[in-house]
Amino acid sequence: VGDLTAADLEGKRVLVRADLNVPLDDNQNITDDTRIRAAIPTIKYLLSNGAKVILTSHLGRPKGVTPKFSLAPLVPRLSELLGIEVKKAEDVIGPEVEKLVADLANGAVLLLENVRFYKEEEKNDPEFAKKLASLADLFVNDAFGTAHRAHASTEGVTKFLKPSVAGFLLQKELDYLDGAVSNPKRPFAAIVGGSKVSSKIGVIESLLEKCDILLLGGGMIFTFYKAQGLSVGSSLVEEDKLELATSLLAKAKAKGVSLLLPSDVIIADKFAPDANSQTVPASAIPDGWMGLDIGPDSVKTFNDALDTTQTIIWNGPMGVFEFDKFAVGTESIAKKLAELSKKGVTTIIGGGDSVAAVEKVGVADVMSHISTGGGASLELLEGKELPGVVALDEGVMTRMC
Ligand code: 3PG
């Protein structure tokens, strides 16, 4: 079975790989529980079908056993959300864990310790994967945020544990970030922002094959402006990507994609929240000033373009939205997507900073999908195969939304 709902779960030991890599403050308090909440539907489904859940995740990037990366601080929130007391193992594999698993009742959850406490995890060591697999009868991968890593608990384990199927979160991420993006309801617009074009080349190239409209914002636009011969003042420019920017513009034209660059920008006299600012046409950035947001005319043009669409994917902010003064462009896009989502347009927020922006504006709940992955959503949008998905049984596939 590639489908979790087709699996016989009563009394079965199910190893669930989730991405519970949540941020913790200095006092080990969870500062954003989104990823824990996102993991709950699959776990609840398993529990209500009589399974014994063995939950595994990484947290951070520890080098060996490091107490501050323990998964212990996650137990109270997991217990609260699941409505049962989650047990916690002190280890990931070994006799003590085996005993805890043997004692696990149907409908109970055992959280293993941080799987990256073992270096074998990231090395995708087969012996380690085999030991992990031996704890269970069935593997469910719901860790979309880690699906781009070929690690023992995401990829290696599937070689020793069948069936290996996708959890509901992983499937939903694939349905939207792959399914809806590859077979979109048209017109289909992609909004790509962020500071550097170099980190979004793959995404832009891949989306150019699929979208009808491409809106570019964020720091990367200055590389495009400079490539077109405009003065950009002291704005961020990747000099070694000027040719690439030119070729992306040409490619968009050749493909008939309507690529829109902002026509005006908000510029600042320094990179600071209290900088002096003014709005100027993109062609009139004075020396000594840097662009930190898209301007109001651009917001209007972008909104008008978005009004014509049926599917929108957004990855990357339009400006330095951490500074209130330069957050208007990003927040306007977030509000526009919320408005269109309510009208039935498929709106997909593809991970990272755009998720933070949508949350800041308080419109996260109305979007069709908000990805829980950073690197994983980028790789998927680039059209790459994710090792954690490829390793699952056939039948894990994307559907059109
Ligand atoms: C993430 O936060 O993007 C995932 O949990 C993956 O973490 P990693 O980049 O440390 O593998």
Per-residue pLDDT of the chain (401 residues; tens, 9 = 90+): 368 998 999 999 999 999 999 999 999 999 999 999 999 999 999 999 999 999 999 999 999 999 999 999 999 999 999 999 999 999 999 999 999 999 999 999 999 999 999 999 999 999 999 999 999 999 999 999 999 999 999 999 999 999 999 999 999 999 999 999 999 999 999 999 999 999 999 999 999 999 999 999 999 999 999 999 999 999 999 999 999 999 999 999 999 999 999 999 999 999 999 999 999 999 999 999 999 999 999 999 999 999 999 999 999 999 999 999 999 999 999 999 999 999 999 999 997 789 989 999 999 999 999 999 999 999 999 999 999 999 998 765 444 44
Answer yes or no: is the C-beta of 145 below 6 A from any ligand 1 atom: yes
Q: Structural domain boundaries of the chain? A: 4-168, 176-381
CA of 149, closest atom in ligand 1: 11
What are the C-alpha distances in Å from 91 to residues 118, 172, 178, 336? 10, 30, 35, 47
Q: List, as residue ranges, the binding site for ATP.
A: 200, 291, 322, 351-354
Question: What's the pLDDT at 2?
Answer: 66
Say if strands 188-192 and 290-294 run parallel, antiparallel, or are unpaired: unpaired
Same fold, 4-168 and 176-381: yes
Ligand 1 atom, smallest distance to 19 CA: 5
3-state SS record for the chain: CCEHHHCCCCCCEEEEECCCCCCECCCCCECCCHHHHHHHHHHHHHHHCCCEEEEECCCCCCCCCCHHHCCHHHHHHHHHHHCCCCEECCCCCCHHHHHHHHCCCCCCEEECCCHHHCHHHHHCCHHHHHHHHCCCCEEEECCHHHCCCCCCCCCHHHHCCCCEEECHHHHHHHHHHHHHHHCCCCCEEEEECCCCCCCCHHHHHHHHCCCCEEEECCCCHHHHHHHCCCCCCCCCCCHHHHHHHHHHHHHHHHHCCEEECCCEEEEECCCCCCCCEEEEECCCCCCCCEEEEECHHHHHHHHHHHCCCCEEEEECCCCCCCCHHHCHHHHHHHHHHHHHHHCCCEEEECCCHHHHHHHHHCCHHHCCEECCCCHHHHHHHCCCCCHHHHCCCCCCCCCCC
Which residue is catalytic, options 87, 123, 196, 335?
196
Catalytic residue among 35, 226, 241, 336: 35
Alpha-carbon gap, residue 79 to 87, rounded angstroms: 9
Q: What pLDDT was estimated at residue 201?
A: 93
What pLDDT is recorded for position 399? 47
**Cα(329)–Cα(293) distance, integer angstroms:** 6
Q: What is the pLDDT of residue 394?
A: 78
Taking the domain 176-381, which CATH number applies?
A: 3.40.50.1260
Residue 146 Cα to ligand 1 middle (Å): 6
Is the backbone of residue 11 left (phi > 0), alpha (psi -120 to 50) or beta?
A: left
Per-residue pLDDT, 331: 97
ipTM more than 0.90? yes
Q: Annotated binding residues for substrate, as ranges?
A: 19-21, 58-61
Q: Do the bridges between strand 164-166 and strand 311-315 make them parallel or antiparallel, or are there none, so unpaired?
A: unpaired
For a ligand 1 pocket test, name from 117, 146, 154, 169 the mutation site with the most ligand atoms within 8 angstroms of its C-beta.
Answer: 146
Which residue in this structure is represented by tokens 């070729």? 247
Q: Which CATH architecture has domain 4-168?
A: 3-Layer(aba) Sandwich (3.40)
Regarding the beta carbon of 62 and ligand 1, being less than 6 Å apart is answered no
Question: Catalytic: 375?
Answer: yes
Report the separation in Å between the CA atom of 379 and the middle of ligand 1, taken as the mean of its atom positions: 12
Q: What's residue 17's pLDDT?
A: 98
Whether residue 83 lies in the annotated active site: no
pLDDT, residue 396, reads 54
From 17, 19, 59, 114, the mutation candidate for ligand 1 (largest count of ligand atoms within 8 A of CB) is 19
Any atom of ligand 1 within 6 Å of the Cβ of 151: no
